[in-house]
Structure 1
């Protein structure tokens, strides 16, 4: 395999132009793309030379899956349209939902979201954040807080609940570090900051300076994560460390299905505030990105392309 083109959320015409230039220069071309325009892009690109272009779509395009050589998407995108599900999904979106059925052979189902927090990236992060995080008292509990979504709604009520639960487990923590995302409402952040900002055991990242997220993944002994974020949960569950979820009962639609899947696999537990953070537990880490990459290499190899992992 000589040419590789990766495009996320780019203009359809721009992608097609880039693909043509790369194909003319390098020959056989692997295109990895995600976005709203990728169906038309896939059709355009494959006209270059059907047997010499391999198009991989990341996330469910909803329509025309046969336009792609591979579609890599989470299992919860195959959400069953039960009566309860129909109550949760607006009528104008129902035609976009894929009912639970065996997918075609070109569809690769993952448990969670694809991400870059693999073992190599975490080793680098562990080194980069060594001086700041290695000296901290153990166990280190990292709390990642996202923000409410249409399918996982919460506000000050969950913030107050989470604050009380963290206070209850703080005795068992050597250190506690809290991070907010860009989606975290100010009123949610203020509740936790008011309670913990003066506590010597606790560090709250305020968004200034380098984002410690990768360092936290590398050095944490356990995580507490709000249920709204598929990506944060997917990353934490790839570490094999204890992951506690807060707010899962508020999820609806396919996000509830995602929470159910994690729970059934034993990779997460609900956060109750009664935990002893020093007591660890483990599970087979999620390895979606590596497994998806293997499927891409395997499929390309069937075409006789030379691949290098």
Structure 2
């Protein structure tokens, strides 16, 4: 059996897992994906857990055993103590790469790859990408998908809808207003929700039946409009190089409190991401979408940085 040179620590969030797997696949080396399940100790901050498997359930702890890999990929903060424990058990031989915000000093890891919404301290081992790693891979449309799209008048305006977060609320009224604006313009509105989209917001979107796959819709669209709550979908849209328009959500009560109080924003401040892509000319508004060129390929940049560790 070939030893997996890379371990990929997966969690509960599909979007996070897809980013990790996309990076692992792009590295072109044997890897092992490990699905971690946690106990209530997962609620503790990584700094309190330290180099520990204590937050894992027994079955997951049993998965963490030699032979050790050369490198461990993880995302966010929940699996950070697990990665640190693996390196300790290996005698310090394992390299650690984190995506997102580990909520620990980056110097605890060999490489941290993050994006602007996270307030990760600047360090020599931190790479700050302008957008997230797109997990979309090109696929060939089926004959049914081609016919479905061919029947709709051009231009095709794709509206991607996310959902609520702790700081931001995507109301059905916001979605309905965006859909009504795009429907009033010559061409065709094609709406697409996500796993986080509220049923009332989906109803306001008035989804068409038989919708093609997400990657097919991105490739086909003439314009892409995205609710700004989703960094992943905005990143996917920008990666196409097509005109992109942001649909802004409204602040929740928590959002109004933190943004208005001057207190540090917990975990992430998505406004920094919006500011970055707007200043770079990568996105516009729903009435004036813009297209721009990224100053780097996020996936290629991440792959090159990780390979340098191996």
**With structure 2 as the length reference, what TM-score do the two structures score?**
0.69
Distance (Å, rounded) in 2 between the aligned partners of 1:40 and 1:237: 33
Deviation (angstroms), 1:237: 0.7
Correspondence 1:21 to 2:66: yes
Q: Specify the alignment match of 1:282 in structure 2.
A: 291
Please say if 1:148 is aligned against 2:164. yes
Q: Which has the higher helix share?
A: 1
Aligned to 2:173, the other structure's residue is in SS state helix
CA RMSD of aligned residues (A): 3.0
Instruction: Please report how far the alpha carbon of residue 138 of structure 1 lies from its aligned counterpart in structure 2 after TM superposition.
Output: 2.8
Once the two structures are TM-superposed, the CA of residue 212 in structure 1 deviates from its matched residue by 1.5
2:65 is paired with a residue whose SS is helix
Alignment-derived partner of residue 129 in structure 2: 110
**Who is 1:30 aligned against?**
71
Paired position in structure 2 for 1:255: 270
* Structure number with bigger Rg: 1
Distance 2:246 2:192 in 1: 15
SS at match of 2:308: helix
Structure 1 residue 211 displacement after superposition: 6.3
Q: Deviations along 1:240-294, whole A, 9 cap, x unmatched?
A: 111111116758661111111110011100113xx5x8xxx63214632221121
Q: What secondary structure is seen at the aligned counterpart in 1 of 2:275? A: helix
* Cα separation, partners in 2 of 1:191 and 1:131, compared to 1, 3 Å: closer
Give secondary structure in 1 for the equivalent of 2:165. coil
Query: Aligned partners of 1:184 and 1:161: how far apart in 2?
Result: 16
The correspondence of residues 181-260 of structure 1 with structure 2, limited to 5 A, is: 181-193=194-206, 204-205=207-208, 212-247=213-248, 254-260=269-275
Whether 2:47 is the aligned partner of 1:6: answer no
How far does the alpha carbon of each residue in 1:100-137 deviate from its partner, in whole angstroms, 9 at most, with x for none? x5x111222122323322xxx22x24578545445654
How many Å apart are 1:152 and its aligned residue?
2.0
Are 1:178 and 2:223 counterparts?
no
Q: Compared with structure 1, are the counterparts of its residues 135 and 52 closer, same or farther at alpha carbon in structure 2 (3 Å cutoff)?
A: farther
Cross-structure match for 1:268: 283
Question: SS of 1:299's equivalent?
Answer: coil
CA distance in 1, matches of 2:281, 2:76: 32
Residue 225 of structure 1 contacts residue 232 of structure 1 at CA under 8 Å; is this kept in 2? yes
Number of residue pairs matched? 249
Whole-Å separation in 1 of the counterparts to 2:227 and 2:170: 10
Contact conserved, 2:99 with 2:112, CA < 8 A, in 1? Answer: yes
Runs of 5+ unmatched residues, structure 1:
79-97, 194-203, 301-309
> 2:48 — aligned with what?
none
| Cα displacement (A) at 1:43 | 2.4
Whether the 8 Å CA contact 1:134–1:219 is kept in 2: the answer is no
Distance 2:167 2:83 in 1: 30
Q: Counterparts of 1:85-104 in structure 2 under 5 Å?
A: 98=120, 103-104=122-123
> Aligned equivalents of 1:189 and 1:163: distance in 2?
11
Cα distance in 2 between the residues matched to 1:43 and 1:187: 42
Aligned residues of 1:142 and 1:223 also touching (Cα < 8 A): yes
